[in-house]
Amino acid sequence: MKYLDEYRDEALAGKIVAEIRHTVTRPWVLMEVCGGQTHTIVKYGIDQLLPDKVELVHGPGCPVCVTSLEMIDKAHAIARRPEVIFCSFGDMLRVPGSEADLLVLKSRGADVRVVYSPMDCLKIARANPDKKVVFFAIGFETTAPGNAMAAWQARRQGIKNFSMLVSHVLVPPAIASILQSPLNRVQGFLGPGHVCTVVGYEEYEPLAERYHVPIVVTGFEPLDLLEGVLMTVRQLEAGTYEVQNQYPRVVKREGNRVARDLVNKVFEVCDRKWRGVGLIPKSGYKLRDEFGDHDAEQLFEVGEIDTAEPAICISGLVLQGVKKPHDCPAFGTLCTPQHPLGATMVSAEGACAAYYAYGRHLQCEKKALAPV
Amino acid sequence: MTTPNADAGDAGEPVSVLMGSCPLPLTNYKEIVLAHGSGGKLSQELIQKIVLPQFRNDLLDPLHDGAVFSVGDTRLAFSTDSYVVSPIFFPGGDIGKLAVHGTVNDLAMCGARPLYLSVGFILEEGLPMDDFWRVVKSMREAADAAGVTLVTGDTKVVDRGKADKIFITTSGIGVVPKGVNIHPKRVQPGDQIILSGDIATHGIAIMSVREGLEFETEIASDTAPLNGLVEAIFATGKDVHVLRDPTRGGISSALSEISQSAGVGMLLEEARIPISEEVKGACEILGLDPLYVANEGKLLAIVPADAAAAVLAVMRTHPLGRDATIIGEVTADHAGFVLMKTRIGGTRVVDMLSGEQLPRIC
């Protein structure tokens, strides 16, 4: 397929791998920030192609996985109400809250619908004037413009029966939090290509400078990831720590100004709880006061719900890159995509689910499954 | 009476220990959820834990698409399937055509020549008579084309809202010719895996309509009766070990199942698996892996290495096998697992469909 096959070329991949082998002289630990990048790495077996000295650990960049239990309980409290049509991205449906998941609520009669775009919710709201349509607005900076547009259009078109439960999270504070952790092992980052498409990478420059880590904004195709690894390793070997852009066909330093402006008009930065990590200051978006009529958290009075997460949780350590999915004794045995015990097993972008889908539980068990 | 626990893990006590230390302790559905009908692992568990224990017998236990048994000197194949696809009309077909092809194909994959079908209709009050007429007419055309006769049936109507327009169940009987012996246990290391054409078009055709996606060329369902292609394969006189039509769950689920029941491994090559440009594009947009997406007019044939060339050649002369190709082979290594060499030279395991679901695609 044009514009994709070019980035999945075996001969070129082989050249970049050879160059990485040629460059690396000592062990390095790199983190790919995005769940989409983790997915590509495991789907194509990229980590198997890399020299042993380059270790990839998987970052917190799966929006479903980092949404706090408390926020999911709030979503469920709203979805249970008879006057509500609750709209969500598909992979949120299987994430269990304290009591059930959205699939179960649906089977009990709740009106839960999967949407591909938040704008679809406005259509649903117009078609169901006697219902209250609520969209579960999760995600990183990538989905923020689309979600902001839904709120903006709802206000502009006077669609009063549409609201959003906002649980947006931001990448730079999470990276800072990982780097400040005493458990941190990460020495370089493959930066989030699609997040930077929206917000650019100016914000990453102070992080690279303060923590002396190279950050290479990286795409999502196999050759993107291999090139991102090469660029990061080159910096590590040379002792430099700059922000570089591997993904210039999509990402500009300043990002997408129109999208950023819209996001800033609709959202403001707030403190946010991350699953398995805890509260990270100034790490999320919430709706600005002037969009209060479309803020489900206020409208349905679920602000008081406060679910504590258990203190010990390996999915939190996986999200921070301290542990690998197969370090967990439950991985692939008690915890599978059919019976997720942790959020990282639920979404396809979650590190555990990606490991599972591409058979890493089998490869761990059976030496016979070594790369062919 | 208590209901057996369809979803309980087998591990017992350790679950609760782990649940105490993990933020998402849900392992057990007390109600039927849509994923139980996805054709993947939840469906399998539902059948294994609730249905199978009640009816256990030698013919049912393998849980194949159909049962094969002898009556006198004749070996018969018997199969049934229900159809609830939404929308009921889609590019390339409709629920009626699908209902005929589905059962015809299930019989053909048992190695049988399909002969007779039954049909059960569940109609929703208010269904336009014209729509019902179109579906029935389409079933007639599909049955004629497949050479099967519809010989018995039943019709029920339910209140508006108690069904969605029309649900159809078809059952079928066919005769297995002498000398034909299709069974996963016959699969041997060295066998070649032949795929009859490009994958994932049915699932993507349905999704495109639902999501309002438009492509330069419309993606049409591949729904088709495969009994003609199967007869052509048998006419070569070559031995065939297994036939399978990779419907819900796609080729990955079908091959994983075979490798598990045969106790062999498989090695596929990603670059050899045919996928049309439109379907590739749609899969990228929708975030789907085409290996897991449903087909309704494709088959996988697993044949001994010395039969592969002849079978492939005859398949390519048939309209439904023009793009047939060898996508991999059966191995003695990694028994029970399907491995795939990826485009860039890595490897990954190809497993059964699990979490993903596209409800009501057939």
The CATH number of whichever domain residue A44 belongs to comes to 3.40.50.11740
Say yes or no: A318 and A275 in one domain: no
Say yes or no: B211 and B338 in one domain: yes
Residue A13 to residue B344, Cβ atoms within 8 A = yes
Rounded to whole angstroms, how far apart are CA atoms A165 and A298?
Answer: 9
> Which residue from B minimizes the CA distance to A95?
B24
Say yes or no: A219 and A270 in one domain: yes
Say yes or no: A278 and A187 in one domain: yes
Say yes or no: A343 and A207 in one domain: no
Say yes or no: A331 and A227 in one domain: no
**Residue keyed to tokens 């709706």:** A287
pLDDT score recorded for residue A112: 95
Q: State which H helix or E strand residue A59 sits in.
A: strand A54-61
Q: Would you say B344 and A46 are in contact if contact means Cβ atoms under 8 Å apart?
A: yes
Say yes or no: A139 and A239 in one domain: yes
Say yes or no: B306 and B341 in one domain: yes
Evaluate whether residue A353 is within a structural domain: yes
- Residue B203 neighbours by CB under 8 Å, 6+ apart: B250, B288, B293, B294, B295, B358, B361
Which residue, of B176, B203, B230, is where some domain finishes? Answer: B176
pLDDT score recorded for residue B7: 41
Rounded to whole angstroms, how far apart are CA atoms B189 and B329?
Answer: 8
pLDDT score recorded for residue A313: 52
Asked if pLDDT for residue B299 goes beyond 50, the answer is yes
SS3 content of chain A, % helix, strand, coil (to 5): 45, 20, 35
Q: Would you say A285 and A146 are in contact if contact means Cβ atoms under 8 Å apart?
A: no
Say yes or no: A272 and A334 in one domain: no
Asked if pLDDT for residue B66 goes beyond 60, the answer is yes
pLDDT score recorded for residue A244: 98
How far away is chain B from the Cα of A356, in angstroms, using its nearest Cα? 9
Asked if pLDDT for residue B22 goes beyond 50, the answer is no
pLDDT score recorded for residue B214: 72
Weakly modelled stretches of chain A, pLDDT under 50? 311-312, 364-372
> Number of structural domains, chain B?
3
Residue B280 to residue A312, Cβ atoms within 8 A = no
Say yes or no: A116 and A91 in one domain: yes
- Give the range of the structural domain holding residue A322, as residue numbers without chain letter: 314-367
Sign of CA pseudo-dihedral B223, B225, B226, B232: negative
Looking at every residue in chain B, the average pLDDT score rounds to 88
- Which range among B46-50, B68-72, B153-157 shows the weakest confidence by mean pLDDT? B46-50
Say yes or no: A296 and A340 in one domain: no
Say yes or no: B292 and B192 in one domain: yes
B320 or B42, which is more confident?
A: B320
pLDDT score recorded for residue B349: 87
pLDDT score recorded for residue B1: 41
Residue B349 to residue A366, Cβ atoms within 8 A = no
Say yes or no: A238 and A104 in one domain: yes
Say yes or no: A267 and A350 in one domain: no
pLDDT score recorded for residue B359: 60
- Give the range of the structural domain holding residue B80, as residue numbers without chain letter: 67-176
Evaluate whether residue A372 is within a structural domain: no
Say yes or no: B201 and B306 in one domain: yes
> For residue A42, which residues of chain B lie inside 8 Å, CB to CB?
348
CB nearest B24 (choices: A312, A341, A356):
A341
Task: Kindly state the average pLDDT of the residues B232-249.
Answer: 95
Residue A342 to residue B22, Cβ atoms within 8 A = yes
> For residue A313, which residues of chain B lie inside 8 Å, CB to CB?
21-23
Of A273, A174, A33, A317, the C-alpha closest to B22 is A317
ipTM confidence? 0.75
How far away is chain B from the Cα of A207, in angstroms, using its nearest Cα? 30
> Number of structural domains, chain A?
2
> Which residue from A minimizes the CA distance to B40?
A338
pLDDT digit string, tens, across residues A24-71: 999 999 999 998 898 899 889 998 899 999 999 888 888 888 888 899
A349 or B204, which is more confident?
A: B204
How far away is chain A from the Cα of B292, in angstroms, using its nearest Cα? 11
Which residue, of B124, B151, B176, is where some domain finishes? Answer: B176
pLDDT score recorded for residue B55: 95
Query: Per the confidence metrics, is the pTM higher than 0.90?
Result: no
A339, A346, A369: which to substitute to probe chain B, counting the most B Cβ within 10 Å?
A339
Residue B24 to residue A95, Cβ atoms within 8 A = yes
B286 or B85, which is more confident?
A: B85
pLDDT score recorded for residue A344: 75
Asked if pLDDT for residue B8 goes beyond 60, the answer is no
pLDDT digit string, tens, across residues B96-128: 999 999 999 999 999 999 999 999 999 999 999
